[in-house]
Amino acid sequence: ATASANEAALMDRVVGVYQRFPKGPAPTPAPSGLWGRYRAKYVDGKNSSIAPLVHMLVVIGLFGYTNEYLGHL
């Protein structure tokens, strides 16, 4: 009789632990950092666009122009 009472008490503890777990899906974390905010704005989901390609081309162009300019001084 005591073994089943001990098992029932143990089972109540186990059930209590699982009842304290959060229910439902985990909340999505807010993007942080420079890359996280950029990715959320231009790359992920419904916001995806060609803007990152344009940004990359502008940066490469500015880098190339600066390199050529400083190379001829």
Question: Hey, what are 2's tokens?
Answer: 């005591």
Domain boundaries, the chain: 2-71
| Distance of alpha carbon 68 from alpha carbon 62, whole angstroms | 10
Q: The whole model's pTM is what?
A: 0.57
pLDDT by residue (tens digit) across 30-53?
899 999 999 999 998 888 999 999
Label residue 2 left, alpha or beta by phi (over 0 means left) and psi (-120 to 50 means alpha). alpha
Decide if pLDDT at 1 tops 70: no
| Distance of alpha carbon 31 from alpha carbon 47, whole angstroms | 14
